[in-house]
């Protein structure tokens, strides 16, 4: 990064950014790519480029675009999100058909916001890093096309899905018009995401990148980190997944924890606490040196990244056990209906 060759990316003249865009487009099998400061921006620029004010989009109810991007589809694009209920983030072609509905002989089409875009998240963050089976993807994108919807993949962790299954990133990307990928999700690069699609789509997206404040001058400094992550760190994700799995198997042995280690597919471990409030537990474990996030009313989310070692996983398991032993065991709130993700992150 310190030795990156740089230019002005606003003028399309940063060679390191241009090389990164070409490399990621080739890996994903798309015509073109544009580099931006964040995955939130690549997703929101995609929504803005695909839609017009007053349109609707279909999205899973716990998806990042819907829950963690500050209402941006409404605020920045004037678009009405229509949430679908998935299982660990995964919905079906039937859900898409049901949301679009049959045309109604007496209902003027001027009364309903036209649904224009279908979004999928793979791996699914709040689903616990769950991987969409390829057939489930093509079923929903086929349904989307039957209803004349554009399709966008939030593939912030698409690298993780490919690592877990052996299905290539390009195969996962093929059914979608556009794809967003993050270079900063466990790959070791500090900043940046790319939006991919046809040449024409990406040319239009560049306008909204600039409009949303994403024109970033000598961005080659960070693009060099992203390029390094793509070339050297992608093959190491399997090791990171193995450590997440080791952590999950260790957790299953600890009293007061409910987890199915087989459900841990990638680098995210979600587990339930059966006797302790997650906020107090996360805070107490943090004081012992383990950083996690509470997730919903009774669950915890632990995420694994490039630099974590096996010794640190074992140390983390010791901290979890000690922390649970030290905390009072009767301070859990009543369960909220709807499961672990209802009403919280
Ligand atoms: C992290 C993430 C993003 C983008 O995050 P930024 O912090 O804006 O780069 C988008 N989608 C998912 C599923 C994510 O996990």
Instruction: Report which protein residue has its CA nearest ligand 1's atom 4.
Output: 39
Cα–Cα distances in angstroms (integers) from residue 227 to residues 15, 36, 59, 156, in the given order: 12, 14, 30, 16
- Give me ligand 1 centre to Cα 151, in Å: 18
Q: What is the pLDDT of residues 35-55, one digit of tens each?
A: 999 999 999 999 999 999 999
Instruction: Please check whether residue 1 is in contact with residue 204, taking contact to mean a CB–CB distance below 8 angstroms.
Output: no
Which range has the worst mean pLDDT, 156-160, 201-205, 276-280, 314-318? 276-280
Q: What is the pLDDT of residue 339?
A: 43
- State the Rg of the chain over Cα: 21
Taking the CB of residue 141, how many other CB atoms lie within 10 A of it? 21
Closest CA to 222 of 188, 184, 190, 196: 190
What's the CATH number of domain 9-232, 3.40.640.10, 3.40.50.410, 1.10.760.10, 3.40.50.1000? 3.40.640.10
Return the H-helix or E-strand segment holding 41: helix 39-50
Q: What is the pLDDT of residue 332?
A: 58
Q: Is the pLDDT of residue 111 over 90?
A: no
What's the CATH number of domain 236-326, 1.10.760.10, 3.30.210.10, 3.90.1150.10, 1.20.1090.10? 3.90.1150.10
Q: What is the pLDDT of residue 213?
A: 97
Q: Is the pLDDT of residue 184 over 80?
A: yes
- Long-range contacts for 201-208 (Cβ within 8 Å, ≥24 apart)? 201/32, 201/49, 201/177, 202/31, 202/32, 202/33, 202/34, 203/32, 204/49, 205/34, 205/45, 205/46, 205/49, 206/34, 208/45, 208/48, 208/49
Q: Which atom of ligand 1 is nearest to the CA of 69?
A: 8
Res. 269 pLDDT band, cuts 50 70 90: very high
- Give me ligand 1 centre to Cα 254, in Å: 31
Q: What is the pLDDT of residues 5-20, one digit of tens each?
A: 999 999 999 999 999 9
Q: What is the pLDDT of residues 17-33, one digit of tens each?
A: 999 999 999 999 999 99
pTM: 0.94
Q: Is the pLDDT of residue 345 over 70?
A: no
- Give me ligand 1 centre to Cα 235, in Å: 21
pLDDT (mean) for 126-149: 97
Q: Is the pLDDT of residue 331 over 90?
A: no
Choice from 125, 226, 266, 305 to test ligand 1 binding pocket (greatest atom count within 8 A of CB): 125
Res. 146 pLDDT band, cuts 50 70 90: very high
Task: Give the separation between CA 129 and CA 136, rounded to whole angstroms.
Answer: 16
Residue 39: CB within 6 Å of ligand 1? yes
Q: What is the pLDDT of residue 84?
A: 98
Q: Is the pLDDT of residue 338 over 80?
A: no
Determine the Cα angle at 168 with ends 185 and 33, to 5°. Answer: 60
pLDDT (mean) for 258-286: 96
Which phi and psi angles does 70 have, rounded to 5°? 60, 35
Residue 154: CB within 6 Å of ligand 1? yes
Q: What is the pLDDT of residue 173?
A: 98
CATH fold match for the domains 9-232 and 236-326: no
What residue ranges do the domains of the chain occupy?
9-232, 236-326
Q: Which atom of ligand 1 is nearest to the CA of 185?
A: 1
Residue 193: CB within 6 Å of ligand 1? yes
Q: What is the mean pLDDT of the chain?
A: 94
Which phi and psi angles does 196 have, rounded to 5°? -125, 150
Q: Which atom of ligand 1 is nearest to the CA of 41?
A: 8
Q: What is the pLDDT of residues 45-88, one digit of tens each?
A: 999 999 999 999 999 999 999 999 999 999 999 999 999 999 99
Q: What is the pLDDT of residue 95?
A: 98
pLDDT (mean) for 221-232: 98
Q: What is the pLDDT of residue 22?
A: 98
Instruction: Report which protein residue has its CA nearest ligand 1's atom 3.
Output: 39
- Is the sign of the CA dihedral 243, 249, 252, 253 positive or negative? negative
Q: What is the pLDDT of residue 77?
A: 98
Q: Which atom of ligand 1 is nearest to the CA of 40?
A: 8
Choice from 88, 184, 185 to test ligand 1 binding pocket (greatest atom count within 8 A of CB): 185
Q: What is the pLDDT of residues 278-329, one digit of tens each?
A: 999 999 999 999 999 999 889 999 999 999 999 999 999 999 999 999 998 7
Choice from 39, 66, 268 to test ligand 1 binding pocket (greatest atom count within 8 A of CB): 39
């Amino acid at each position: 990064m310190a030795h990156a060759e740089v230019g002005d990316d606003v003028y399309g003249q940063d060679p390191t950014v241009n090389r990164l865009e070409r490399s990621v487009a080739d890996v994903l099998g798309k015509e073109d790519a544009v580099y931006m400061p964040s995955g939130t921006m690549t997703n929101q620029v995609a929504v803005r480029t695909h839609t017009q004010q007053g349109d609707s989009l279909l999205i899973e109810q716990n998806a990042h675009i819907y829950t963690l991007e500050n209402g941006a589809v409404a605020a920045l694009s004037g678009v009405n999100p229509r949430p679908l209920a998935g299982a660990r983030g995964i919905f079906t072609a039937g859900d898409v058909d049901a949301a679009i509905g049959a045309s109604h002989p007496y209902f003027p089409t001027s009364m309903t916001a036209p649904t224009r875009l279908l979004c999928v998240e793979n791996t699914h963050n709040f689903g616990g890093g769950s991987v969409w089976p390829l057939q489930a993807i093509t079923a929903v994108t086929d349904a989307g096309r039957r209803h004349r919807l554009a399709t966008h993949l939030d593939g912030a962790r698409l690298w993780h899905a490919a690592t877990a299954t052996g299905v290539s990133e390009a195969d996962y990307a093929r059914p979608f018009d556009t794809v967003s990928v993050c270079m900063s999700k466990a790959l070791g690069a500090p900043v940046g995401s790319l939006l991919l699609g046809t040449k024409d789509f990406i040319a239009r997206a560049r306008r909204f990148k600039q409009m949303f404040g994403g024109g970033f001058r000598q961005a080659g400094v960070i693009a060099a980190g992203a390029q390094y992550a793509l070339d050297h760190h992608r093959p190491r994700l399997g090791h990171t997944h193995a450590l997440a799995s080791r952590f999950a198997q260790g957790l299953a042995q600890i009293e007061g924890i409910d987890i199915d280690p087989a459900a841990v597919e990638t680098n995210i471990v979600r587990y339930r606490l059966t006797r302790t409030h997650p906020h107090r537990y996360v805070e107490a474990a943090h004081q012992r040196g383990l950083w996690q996030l509470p997730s919903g009313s009774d669950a915890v989310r632990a995420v694994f990244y490039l630099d974590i070692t096996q010794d640190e996983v074992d140390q983390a398991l010791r901290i979890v056990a000690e922390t649970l032993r030290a905390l009072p065991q009767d301070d859990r709130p009543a369960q909220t209906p709807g499961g672990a993700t209802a009403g919280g992150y």
